[in-house]
Structure 1
Amino acid sequence: MAYPESRPTYSPPKPIYGISGPQAPARYDFNWTVKDDQSGNDYGQQESRDGDNTHGSYQVLLPDGRVENVVYTVNGDSGYVAEVTYQSQAQYPTHQTYTPVPVYV
């Protein structure tokens, strides 16, 4: 059995760059919070954007008992600019030494 001299050729699909048609600038506003006294979770975020300008903040309860607050902006190509502050003082509980007691069955 003889094989044909010409073989099929394959080419990858042509890439599509960009999206055609008019595009509106990004615009949104959202926020969320979590406050659960039983587990100690206390954090949240707020952010809004209008075109190239983004403003937001978030807060989180740190393991040392402080609340970290971050207020940030991104204006065009300026990059992420943040101001970080803390509420309360860090608290470190005294270290308790644990000595396991052997149990024999």
Structure 2
Amino acid sequence: MGDTPYRPPTYHPPAPSYHPPAPSYHPPAPSYKEPGKPYKYAYSVNDDYKGLKFSADEASDGNNVKGSYQVALPDGRQQNVQYTADHHAGFIADVSYYGEAQYPPPASYHPAPAPYHPPPPPSYHG
């Protein structure tokens, strides 16, 4: 038996198992601005049964847009909008109205009935 001093067992922690994810940044894909394409369209709806009446038309040369639309409003007027739009001046609209606004006659006023209050209970004096 020897006189060897007592040595406790040596502890070694496990190797770390967490690894941070790789960076997810990707540079944006290059964007290519395509020039505007000329177009033209128009449509209209006139449905007397449902009371729908509206139309629109628009055209572009690829840089500037010019158009208009008309809508029958619930008050009987027609709203007309003519507009232009481009990348320098933005959207510019000229709005006008045709006709006079018509409103239904007001409903006749009937005051609410007075609230019900039960009579006081009878009192007896004797």
Amino acid at match of 2:42: N
Deviation, structure 1 residue 70:
0.6
Deviations 1:33-64 (A, max 9, x none): 12111111111211111122110000101110
SS in 2 for 1:60: strand
Aligned residue pair count: 97
Q: 2:25 aligns with which of 12, 18, 24?
A: 12
SS in 2 for 1:39: coil
Q: Following superposition of structure 1 onto structure 2, how do residues 1-105 of structure 1 map, counting pairs within 5 Å?
A: 2-3=15-16, 8-19=21-32, 23-97=34-108
Unaligned runs of 5+ in 1: 100-105
Q: If the length of structure 2 is used for normalisation, what is the TM-score? A: 0.64
Which structure would you say has the larger RCO, counting Cα contacts within 8 Å and 6 or more residues apart? 1
Amino acid at match of 1:18: S
Deviations 1:13-50 (A, max 9, x none): 32113128xx3432111112121111111112111111
Structure with larger Rg: 2
RMSD (CA atoms): 2.4
SS in 2 for 1:15: coil
Distance 1:67 1:4, change over 3 A: same
Give the percent of matched residue pairs that are identical in Structure 1 and Structure 2.
37
Q: If the length of structure 1 is used for normalisation, what is the TM-score? A: 0.75
